[in-house]
Structures are given as structure tokens and as C-alpha cells.
Structure 1
């Protein structure tokens, strides 16, 4: 096979290509009977990553779509049909279309994800994957390892987040809502809504639920995401994209709670990539969770957190216990899930952390967020950059 660089892709052609995923929407039901998926592909041949190739894929079954799990994943596509859509090229499935997806992280196995077992993967293909992984690692917009991923401890009311977490238990609330109880090793700093579970048939992973008791957060998943949510099971790792930390508004016939609560909601629609994506247990976002589960010894029962009052789902609300009510073992006091937050300073968490060597090789102008150790500074003397001035006598 011969492969085309993205800078050389022309409309009304069929191409084979290797590329990295800059953006994607998880599979969602289309207006017809098919499932749909959107992805934006980039490669080193592009001067500007905003000029990537947008691809729109349709399939009768969700499993027949490219198995893209994360930004930075690498794809090998054969027989991609490129059409013109609103003056820009757009990739679609052509006759004989096939796609292999690889983990974009350095050192990850090169085992491809595919909807078929009938494919070829030669040493020269493996070399192409390695080269693209090196490029992804040096590209801040694609490198998930350098991303300062938000956790539940970082959330603020009114914001949207892409949250990586593990499902501990789940329940079908009604035809339009599924409840996930998840954890990520941290505890939100804001009081949040919890569902009363008495009337729900809860499916949970018992051993995990016992380990992480006190760290569970309820996520309410609505409408077109219900069918996808029901395909998960307790113990699965998931990325919830475009999760809304919304201010909870009780129904008019219900008394307002004493404290203002937030609720974690996945709304209908697919804007901004909203949806649920499966992640592997060895994903870097989960490297601290196992030690957290083993080190924490939270003794408060969930029922002690329930606050009276029915919700719009005929449930009750509660708030998490105060930090002081958490009991931990002596060797877990430094765990991030048990640390008390004294203040919150906005650190532009939506911008990924960039290695210095990537800054030096990046095109300019551009904005970066750095975390580095201070080696030296100048000027050394404060009098070299500060000027004394008296507003009373105008003395310089």
C-alpha cells in the first residue's frame, strides 16, 4: 500500500493514510438507522493542526465504527473516500474501507483495534506507528501523557469537563436516565447531589464498592446516551466527555436544600464530543487509583449522607460528608483523595502542560502552559527592577 500525507489529500480521491486523532465524537445514533462517528485527523505534514481532515463515518452497528478511545490515538485507514463538503475536504467510508486504531502512547503495545480479524500488519507498518507516536509525544495538543487531566477535586459549578473514572455501580432510573456511581481517587470540594437508591435496582461491583466507600459520585446520564451507558458494566473504566457540573435546581413543589448543591449531568446531544468512551485499566489517568483504594479506609456509610427531599427523578439528595469526618489509615494521609483543600487557584487547567523541548521546536506564535523547576533568575538585585516612589512628597 502507498500512503498519502494529509497535506497532499485532494477531494474526489480515495486514499490510504496514517494519522493521529486530534478530536472525535464517540459513536451516537444518527437521525436514520445507522450509528455515526466524527473524527479529525492530523499528521506531521500539516503546518497548522487546525487544518486537519474531518471524517464522518456511518455504520449499521456501533462496533463496526473505528474504535477510537482517546485523542492522540493513531489510525491506519485504507480506502478513505474524500469528498467536498461546504468547500472543505471530508473523509468518508469508501468501498472496501478498513481502519486499524493504535494506542498513541509511547511504549504501549502495537496491537491494533479493529472490527475485523482479517488485516495485514507488517514491520514497516509498525515503524510508521512508532514514528507517529514520537510525533504525538512532542505535540502538546495530542499527548495525553502531558495533559493535566481534570479530576473530581478540580470541578467548579457551571463548568464542563472530560472526566476519566471507574464505574463502581449503575442503575436504570427510567427510560431517559441512567445512574453511574463513579470514582477517580479524589473527592469534589463542592457539595453535590446524590440519588436515593431504595427504589432502584443497583448493579455494582461489591469488592470495589467496599474499597472506595465514601468516594462515590453520582453521574446522571440522559436521553440519547442511555443506550451507550447500558453497554457498560461495573468495574469498567470510562471517559465521560463534556460532563456538566450544573447547579441543582429542585422542582417547584420541593423545598430547596439547606446548602446549594451541584449535580453531575451528561445532557442529550453530541456537542463538543459529548459522550461515553471506554478506556483501558492501564491508562495513565488511573495510575494512582489502585493505591488510593488500598490506602483509604473510609468508614462512613452512604446513607449518612442522604439529605431529605425528593428530586425530579423521585429521588432524594445528599451532600458528601465534611473532610473531617473521613477516617483514614496512618499510611494514607498523603493520598490526594484525602487531602483538604485550603484554597483554589485557577491554573488554566484547560490548557495542557507542555514540555520545554516541545516549546522550543513548536511553530510561533503560540501559547503554552509550563511546569518547570526554577534554575536561575535575573536581575538578582530588587533595586534593578523596582523604583522607590513617595506619593506624598513625590520622592524618587
Structure 2
């Protein structure tokens, strides 16, 4: 038995019909609740036939855990029995309850076992031929973050409601019941925020040093870069368990249409229904450029924030002229600070020994 797979460039010939498509997922939205009782995500895929045209696939599932969750850059999806519609003069695929899918590692190799499948999917031996061809093609084909006038670095987010951000996902954690937060970094400093509070108010309710309710463990903070802003990204109300299904911790992504806000004097990002994520390779030009800018900044200014004047705006002056400027993360992870924190905890818990 052999499965017939339609090339992406030919999908427009199959309006109002069900077809099978095999492609590389270049972009996805984080699955969230639809206006009805189900969940949805939007995928964009390409293949060898037309790598400059991305086919939009709207996926609807009854359970959020059944949604496809892309694991890595250049991973492959096989979509079976998807319905083709004409949307704004372009073909668009719709995945519903009669459709099925399988996700495969995009790296070249002889392992054709999918890492995620829908309940009704059936793998055929003939699928291996198509997957191998697509893997070999992706190996020699460059993929990039795309060109957009909205792509900015964290240092340029002021005054912008939505941005496209090329960043590294450092960590994801549940900060309260069912509410997750992503921690991302691009090597630059977010602009300072004016805080209009009175000193007397600070004595009663001090502004926090983080948005998350509980400070992250030292083992997590130790792996964060000490230079550049770590942006917290929260999910809107339509998202459930978003962090569990976000597979790109430790990798670079481009986040499109990320909403930017401030909270308690700190910057934060917000995932909305228009936010999309594009997995990136570390060899992507935009990633290389972010790392180059960060390294040049460290060589030129060390750990001094971008907004500070190296000569006139250092807040603390000490007698040792050779002492280097330290960031807040340096101080939080200092052995002396950790020791003092532990001693304070012990005193509060057990009291002063008699």
C-alpha cells in the first residue's frame, strides 16, 4: 500500500478536497483554547517543491494534549486527510476530527519512528521514502528567520505594542496553578522604565525584583547569562499548560507578534493568539548577529548596563579601582550572598542559639 502525498506547490489544485501533505514545520503558534470547546494551533510548512511559500495549516483538536508539539528546528509533519480551503486567495489546510498526523525528527538518519502521532494515524513503509527525501533536502537548504520590519532587539522595545523578537529560550516553569512563564534573552538590555512611586510607598510595599511570585532556584539562575535582560513571557487567558508543551528550552526562536508590557517597573512579554514561534538554528544569520553584538558589548563595556554612562552614572564608588562592575545576577549568585541567605533562613526557622 502506498500513500499519495501532494506537493505544497500543488495544494491549490485541491480546493474542497481531502489530501495528504508532508512538510517541514517552519512556524507554529502555541496551542490555546478556541472560541468553542476545542483547541487550535496554526502551523506553517514547506517542502522541496516551494520553499519560499509557506502553507498555513489550521489544526483543531478536542484535547490540548493531543495537539502536535514541534520539538526541534526542521522537524517534519505528515498530515493525512486534511481539508483544503481558499483563504484570502491562498490555499489553506484544515485539520479536524477526521484527519491524522505524525511528527518526525528532521535530522538525516534511518530512524523513521515518529515521536508523536494522533490516535488514528497509520504509518506506511512507503512513507519512509518521502521522509528521507525531505530530510536530505533540508540538510542542504538554509532556513532563516525571515525579513520583517518588526524585528527588534530587547533594547528597542520601548513604545512598541507588538514586536518580532529573535531570542534564546532559557527556561520555562509553572509560576502558579496552570500558569506558565518563559524566560528569554537576546544579549541586549531592555530600556529603563520610569517608576512614579513615593519613597514612603516603597517602605510599605516594595517593588519586586521579578514578576514571578517565587524566586527561581540558584541552579536555574546559574545557567542564565549575567549580561543582558532576561525577559519574562507570560501566557494570556486562552492558554492552558503552555509551558509543558513548549519544547524549545535552550534553543533560539523568532517570536512574531509578541506583546510587550510593563509590570511593577519591569518589562514582560505576553503570548496572545496572534503570537507565532519560528525555530531557528544556531547558524542562522539573525542568531549569529545577536551573539556578535552581545560579545562586542561585553568587550567594550563589560557588565555595565547599556543605558548607563561608564564614567558619570556608576551609583556605587569603592576604593578598589580594579574591581569590576557586577550585575544583579552576579550578586544574587555570589557565595557570600547565598551564605547570608542560608544563615538568615536558619535563624528565622530555628532562632538564635542560646
TM class, shorter-length: 0.5 to 0.7
Q: Judging changes above 3 Å, is the alpha-carbon distance between structure 1 residues 323 and 192 closer, same or farther for their aligned structure 2 residues?
A: farther
TM superposition shift of 1:53: 3.1
Paired position in structure 1 for 2:208: 196
1:6 and 1:153 map into 2 onto residues whose CA distance is: 33
Pick aligned residue for 1:34 from 11, 34, 38:
38
Paired position in structure 2 for 1:166: 170
TM superposition shift of 1:228: 3.8
Checking the alignment, whether the CA contact within 8 Å between 1:222 and 1:266 is kept in structure 2 is yes
Pick aligned residue for 1:7 from 9, 30, 53:
9
Q: How many residues align?
A: 270
TM superposition shift of 1:57: 1.5
TM superposition shift of 1:19: 1.7
* SS at 2:138 equivalent: helix
Checking the alignment, whether the CA contact within 8 Å between 1:246 and 1:264 is kept in structure 2 is yes
Matches within 5 A, 1:227-266: 227-229=240-242, 231=244, 237=250, 241-242=255-256, 244=258, 246=260, 248=262, 263-266=267-270
Q: TM-score, normalised by structure 1?
A: 0.52
1:187 and 1:222 map into 2 onto residues whose CA distance is: 23
Checking the alignment, whether the CA contact within 8 Å between 2:173 and 2:243 is kept in structure 1 is no
Paired position in structure 2 for 1:325: 326
Paired position in structure 2 for 1:60: 62
Q: TM-score, normalised by structure 2?
A: 0.57
Pick aligned residue for 1:18 from 16, 22, 31:
22
With CA pairs under 8 Å and 6+ residues apart, which has the higher RCO, 1 or 2? 2
TM superposition shift of 1:38: 1.4
Checking the alignment, whether the CA contact within 8 Å between 2:184 and 2:232 is kept in structure 1 is no
* SS at 1:20 equivalent: strand
Paired position in structure 1 for 2:308: none
TM superposition shift of 1:162: 3.9
Are positions 1:207 and 2:219 aligned together?
yes
* SS at 1:54 equivalent: strand
Give RMSD over aligned pairs: 5.0
1:45-79 deviation per Cα after TM superposition (whole angstroms, max 9, x unaligned): 23x733x4322111111222222345633111221
Paired position in structure 1 for 2:133: 131
Matches within 5 A, 1:305-316: none
Checking the alignment, whether the CA contact within 8 Å between 1:179 and 1:218 is kept in structure 2 is no
Q: Judging changes above 3 Å, is the alpha-carbon distance between structure 1 residues 211 and 265 closer, same or farther for their aligned structure 2 residues?
A: closer
1:19 and 1:199 map into 2 onto residues whose CA distance is: 39
TM superposition shift of 1:129: 1.7
Gaps of 5+ in 1: 251-260, 289-304, 306-318, 330-396
Q: Judging changes above 3 Å, is the alpha-carbon distance between structure 1 residues 92 and 323 closer, same or farther for their aligned structure 2 residues?
A: farther
Checking the alignment, whether the CA contact within 8 Å between 1:171 and 1:203 is kept in structure 2 is no
2:164 and 2:83 map into 1 onto residues whose CA distance is: 34
Checking the alignment, whether the CA contact within 8 Å between 1:245 and 1:262 is kept in structure 2 is no
1:233-272 deviation per Cα after TM superposition (whole angstroms, max 9, x unaligned): 9x9557572375858597xxxxxxxxxx8723125x3225
1:264-294 deviation per Cα after TM superposition (whole angstroms, max 9, x unaligned): 3125x322526xx9x8xxx858xx9xxxxxx
